[in-house]
Amino acid sequence: MKINGTPYRSVWINEKDGWSVHIFDQTRLPFSLDILQLTSAQDVAHAIRTMQVRGAPLIGAVAAYGLALALRHESSDTAMEEQAVMLAATRPTAINLRWAIDRMLAHLRPLPADKRVAAAYAEAGRICDEDAAQNEAIGRHGLSLIRDIAKTKPAGSQINLLTHCNAGWIATVDWGTALAPIYMAHDEGLNVHVWVDETRPRNQGAALTAWELGSHGVPHTVIADNAGGHLMQHGQVDMVIVGTDRVTRTGDVANKIGTYLKALAAQDNAVPFWVALPSTTIDWTVANGVTEIPIEERSGSEITHISGRDERGTLSKVQITPDGSKAANPAFDVTPARLVTGLITERGCCAATEDGLKSLFPEQ
Ligand SMILES: CSC[C@H]1O[C@H](OP(=O)(O)O)[C@H](O)[C@@H]1O
């Protein structure tokens, strides 16, 4: 996507040296656009753990380059396996991370050690190109849903969408998942408006989705996480569209904490609840999301403290809870398939069911 007219992806190889990896430091957005140069697998692991880089497809792509960086240092079998385990362990919920590492290992294990570095960069590049193409396709399929909503409303009236967290281009290599259809609808002239859940505690909505939509000129309103149900009760939401970190073969959806509550409110108000995902986010080995998907528990300090820009324009962090108060911070929840209207994938839309997914992915 473009930033001030310049096209960017959210991960790229430094053209000056041809091997170091560039990402945006997403913990500094929306107030500062800082490019981070990653030169080792340890740099990549730190960036993923601290959420300088985040978003299910993107952490998979960056971890793939992390393995390439590791192989530049040492390309033996033992070193490669050890670094792969280290990178895969950086965050537990998004299946894309495991998927990307497994794909890299399957490609690299058969190769002699002296061929692995070049092959790793090439495969990581393919992972990036495929993600961007898949998300563009998700955009086209999701666009048809938004067009259908437009047909049910008076010509030109506002189409109100609600999204949770950030599933935009900066959560992927390009285009995004939940936001891709929104960008395309806006670009073709549909009158879309987005309710942006702030998405406590890391505020990916308030900081990242709002920044993305504002940069692209898409009308949007940031709301408290707890406001969505009220808006749905008052007919202010035509469709909920979110991303995901892992979808089971039966259609259960793991996503940022709070998604489940939005799905409950959507069902109670007969608001369509759609989930956008590339097939790299499907975990075909898991049937029951609630009992089988590992939920990341992050530091309580993300609850007790909040970051932002103060009145002097300085990025700072302040405490918002009393000294000594405990905090619990599950980072994801699982929305049962029964609450999901449908899934938007690169191959089209389907029901959030095993048959629905198999209809699009019969090879599985
Ligand atoms: C397109 S995947 C976006 C997905 O990833 C986010 O999690 P995090 O910001 O913790 O990496 C969130 O669950 C989004 O829906």
pLDDT tens digits for range 98-125? 999 999 999 999 999 999 999 999 999 9
**CB 90 within 8 Å of CB 45:** yes
Report the residue count for the chain: 364
> Hey, how many other C-beta atoms are within 10 angstroms of the C-beta on 231?
18
Ligand 1 pocket: which residues have CB below 6 Å? 54-57, 165, 167, 171-172, 177, 204, 242-245, 255-256, 331
Q: Are residues 93 and 143 in the same domain?
A: no
Q: Are residues 194 and 315 in the same domain?
A: yes
Res 64: pLDDT: 98
Res 254: pLDDT: 98
Res 338: pLDDT: 98
Q: Once rounded to an integer, what is the mean pLDDT over residues 313-338?
A: 97
Q: What are the φ and ψ backbone dihedral angles of 314, each rounded to 5 degrees?
A: -95, 135
Amino acid at 89: A
| Total-model pTM | 0.98
Tell me whether residue 16 is annotated as binding. Answer: no
Res 174: pLDDT: 97
User: For ligand 1, atom 4, which residue shows the shortest CA distance?
Assistant: 55
Q: Are residues 175 and 146 in the same domain?
A: yes
Res 70: pLDDT: 98
Q: Are residues 342 and 214 in the same domain?
A: yes
Look at strands 273-276 and 239-242 and give their pairing: parallel
3-state class (DSSP) for residue 61? helix
Res 250: pLDDT: 98
Q: Are residues 225 and 295 in the same domain?
A: yes
Name the catalytic one among 225, 238, 245, 283: 245
Nearest to 165 by CA among 293, 301, 258: 258
Q: Are residues 326 and 231 in the same domain?
A: yes
Q: Which ligand 1 atom is at minimum distance from the Cα of 244?
A: 15
User: For ligand 1, atom 7, which residue shows the shortest CA distance?
Assistant: 55
Q: Are residues 205 and 113 in the same domain?
A: no
- 174 CA → ligand 1 middle, Å: 14
Res 6: pLDDT: 83
User: What residue ranges in 212-309 does DSSP mark as E strands?
Assistant: 220-223, 239-242, 246-248, 253-256, 273-276, 282-283, 305-309
Q: Are residues 102 and 9 in the same domain?
A: yes
Whole-number Cα distances in Å, 246 to 63, 198, 299: 17, 21, 21
Tell me whether residue 70 is annotated as binding. Answer: no
Q: Is residue 76 part of a domain?
A: yes
Tell me whether residue 255 is annotated as binding. Answer: yes
Task: List pLDDT tens digits, range 231-274.
Answer: 999 999 999 999 999 999 999 999 999 999 999 999 999 999 99
CATH code for the domain of 258: 3.40.50.10470
Q: Which ligand 1 atom is at minimum distance from the Cα of 276?
A: 1
Domain count for the chain: 2
Res 3: pLDDT: 83
User: For ligand 1, atom 12, which residue shows the shortest CA distance?
Assistant: 256
Reported ipTM: 0.98
Name the domain boundary from 80, 105, 129: 129
Res 7: pLDDT: 86
Task: Give the domain extent around 107.
Answer: 2-129
Q: Are residues 149 and 21 in the same domain?
A: no
Q: Are residues 102 and 147 in the same domain?
A: no
User: For ligand 1, atom 13, which residue shows the shortest CA distance?
Assistant: 256
Tell me whether residue 56 is annotated as binding. Answer: yes
Residue with the two structure tokens 């070193």: 79
Q: Are residues 202 and 81 in the same domain?
A: no
Res 144: pLDDT: 98
The pair of three-digit structure tokens given for residue 218, joined into one six-digit string: 């898409």
Q: Which ligand 1 atom is at minimum distance from the Cα of 168?
A: 1
Res 2: pLDDT: 82
Q: Once rounded to an integer, what is the mean pLDDT over residues 292-316?
A: 96
Annotated catalytic residue 310: no
- 217 CA → ligand 1 middle, Å: 22
Q: Once rounded to an integer, what is the mean pLDDT over residues 192-213?
A: 98
Task: List pLDDT tens digits, range 20-70.
Answer: 999 999 999 999 999 999 999 999 999 999 999 999 999 999 999 999 999
Res 317: pLDDT: 96
Q: Is residue 134 part of a domain?
A: no
Q: Are residues 122 and 144 in the same domain?
A: no
Q: Which ligand 1 atom is at minimum distance from the Cα of 96?
A: 2
Percentage of the chain with pLDDT > 70?
100
